[in-house]
Structure 1
C-alpha cells in the first residue's frame, strides 16, 4: 500500500489533470447558431456560451441570437475596425510595371512607360508624384522610411492571442526575410486586423541590412500565394500552429518627404462629376433668385393696387 501522503499527492495530480482536461473541453466549443462570436466556452450544463462581436455580450449558442446583436455584429464586421493610418501614407495603386533600375539594383528616381509618360518614385518603387511627360524631373530618390502593413484574417470562432500573433509574425519576418528585429517596431492585433510597422531610416541601414521595402514586397507575395522563394521554401503563415487565413493585405508607404500629389491631374470621370455638382448648385441658386424676384414683383403690384383703392375711398 502507498503511504497516505503519496496517495494524496497522486490524487491531487489526477484532480488537476481532470480539471485541466475539462477546462480544455469547455474552451473548444463552436457557436453553431452565430459565426460572429469569440471566446466560446461550455458552461456546466454543456451549453456553448460565446462573446458576440461588436457588443461583447454573452450569447447562448443553443438558441438563436437576437436580431439586435446580430445586426450590431454585422455592422462591426462591415466597419472593418482599423488601426490609425499614417497621415502621409499612400498605397501602391499602380501595380507592377517594367522599372528602370540602377546598377546596384535600386530604383531610378524617374520611371517612364512606353508611351513616354513619366513619374517619380520612392525607394520602394511606388509612385509619389503626378504623372507627366518626358520633361518631368525627379531631383532625388526619396527614401521610404516607414512601411505600415495591415492584414485582415478570415472570421473564426476564437481570436488569436495578441502576444502569440506578435511573437510568431516577428519570428517569420526575422527568419524568412532576414530583417534585423530592430526594424520591426510594432505588431498589434485587434480581431480580425493585424498591424505591422517596419521602420528604417537611411542613417540606420548598413550595407548588410535588408531593406524594409524588399521585405514588404516578399511578404505581400507570400501572403497572396505568389511566393518568390523556391517551391522548397514553403510559406507557413500560422499562429501557435493554427493557420492564419489572410483575406486582405494593405501596405502603406511613408516617405521621408511628403508625396507630391495634387488636384490638377484629376481623371476625366472625377472632373465630370465635379462639373455636374457645380452646375447643379449654380442652377439652384439662379432658380431661387428668380423665384424671389417674381414674388417680390407680385407683392409690389398688389401694394400699389391697394394704395390706389385707398386713395379713391378718401377722395369720395
Structure 2
C-alpha cells in the first residue's frame, strides 16, 4: 500500500509543480504571485496593492516604493545609485497607473516637484509647494562603458546588438532609439519618446531596469542575466551614466547659484586685496631701504674734514 501511495503522491507533485512554477513574474523577481483561480496568476509588489503586469516592465514608481519597504518585510535589495539623480531613491507617491505624482514629499514635510522619471526638478519646499503638472521626460541620454576587449567592435554591430537588447529584454520599440554612437569603450544612446501610447513601455522604466542590470541588482529573475553579444563576442558593460531631458528646463531657483557666485566673487576680491597689500608692502619696504641707504651715503659725504695747522 505504501509504494502505491508514494506513486500517487509523486504524480500529484509532478502535476502541481508546473502550475506552481508558472505563477511567477517574468519581468520582476520581487513580485509576490499567487493563483486566485484556475490558470489565473496575480502578482503584486511589496508596498503596493496594484497588480503587476508581468508581460512588460514594472513602472519605476512602483519599484522605488517596493525598495523602501523595511528589510524585515522584504528581501534584501541594494539601493541603486543613479549617476545623474543625486537624490537617490525615496518613498514615492504613485498614481494607480504607476506614474509618479507631480509633487513628492518626505516625512519631514519637505516637498519637491518631479518629472515623469521621478527625478527632482525644483528646489525643496514646504507642504504648500504646488506642482501643477507632471512634466514628461521626453529624452534620455545613456552613456555606457564596456570592458576592454582584445577584439574591436564595429559601430554597426554594437548598434544592432543594443537595439536587439532593448527590444527583447526591455520591450522597447526600436523607434524610440534615436541614435547610437560608439567610441571605444564609450557607448552613447539617445532615447526619444515625446508621447507614449498606453501599450508602450516608458523610456524612464527602461533606463531604470538597465541601471539595475549594470549594477548587478537586476529586477529580472536570477536566471535572466544581462548579456550583450556583438557578432558572437561578449560586450561586458561595466559603467552607466543617465541624463534626463524634460519638456521644460528644471525650475531650480537662483539662490544657490547666486550664493555660489557670491562666494567666488568674495574669494577673488580677497585674493586681489591680499595681492595688492603684498605689493604695497614690498614697495614700502623697498623705498624705506633705499632711503636708509641714501641717508647713510649722505652722512659719509658730509663727514667733517681735518684742518692743517
Find out whether 1:94 has 2:87 as its counterpart: yes
1:150 aligns with 2:126: no
Matching of residues 66-81 of structure 1 within 5 Å: none
Deviation at 1:264, TM superposition (A): 2.5
Superposition deviation, residue 288 in structure 1:
3.5
Q: 1:242 to 1:256 in 2, by over 3 A?
A: same
Q: Is the 8 A contact 1:130 1:265 kept in 2?
A: no
How far apart in 1 are the matches of 2:215 and 2:136?
A: 25
Partner of 1:95, secondary structure, is coil
Aligned to 1:280: 271
Match of 1:245 among 213, 233, 236: 236
- What is the rounded CA distance, in whole Å, between the counterparts of 1:122 and 1:108 in structure 2? 9
Correspondence for 1:25 = none
Q: Distance in 2 between matches of 1:191 and 1:225?
A: 22
In structure 2, the CA distance between the partners of 1:235 and 1:116, relative to structure 1 (3 Å rule), is same
With structure 1 as the length reference, what TM-score do the two structures score? 0.58
Residue 199 (structure 1) aligned with residue 225 (structure 2): no
Equivalent position to 2:212, from 209, 221, 226: 221
Q: Unmatched 5+ residue regions in structure 2?
A: 1-82, 295-309
> Aligned in 2, Cα 1:292/1:109: closer, same or farther, shift over 3 Å?
farther
In 2, the alpha carbon distance for the partners of 1:115 and 1:281 equals 43
Tell me if the contact between 2:142 and 2:241 (Cα under 8 Å) persists in the aligned partners. yes
Deviation by residue 1:135-167 (Cα, 9 ceiling, x = unmatched): 333222111111000000111222212111111
CA deviations on 1:208-246 (whole Å, 9 max, x unpaired) are 111111111111111222111123433222222322222
- Report how many aligned residue pairs link the two structures: 219
Rounded Cα–Cα distance in structure 2 between residues aligned with 1:223 and 1:287 = 55
Q: Is the 8 A contact 1:147 1:252 kept in 2?
A: yes
Distance in 2 (alpha carbons) for counterparts of 1:252 and 1:116? 28
Asked if 1 retains the 8 angstrom alpha-carbon contact of 2:227 and 2:236, the reply is no
The answer (yes or no) to whether the contact 1:118–1:136 under 8 Å persists in 2 is yes
The question of whether the paired residues in 2 share the 8 Å contact of 1:159 and 1:192 is answered with no
Residues 112 and 120, structure 2, Cα contact 8 Å, conserved in 1: yes
* CA apart distance, 1:101: 1.1
User: Take 1:294 and 1:132, find their aligned partners in 2: how far apart are those partners?
Assistant: 56
Deviation (angstroms), 1:134: 2.9
Change (3 A) 1:148 1:272: same
Equivalent in 137, 156, 171 of residue 130 of structure 2: 137
Go from structure 1 to structure 2 and tell me whether the alpha carbon gap of 1:247 and 1:263 turns closer, same or farther (over 3 Å shift): farther
Following the alignment from structure 1 to structure 2, what is the Cα–Cα distance between the partners of residues 145 and 212?
8
Distance 2:283 2:252 in 1: 43
1:34-60 per-position Cα deviation (integer Å, ceiling 9, x unaligned): xxxxxxxxxxxxxxxxxxxxxxxxxxx
Instruction: Give runs of ≥4 in structure 1 deviating > 6 Å.
Output: 268-274, 293-303
User: TM-score scaled by structure 2?
Assistant: 0.60
1:238 and 1:121 map into 2 onto residues whose CA distance is 36
Contact 2:103 2:114 in 1 (8 A): yes
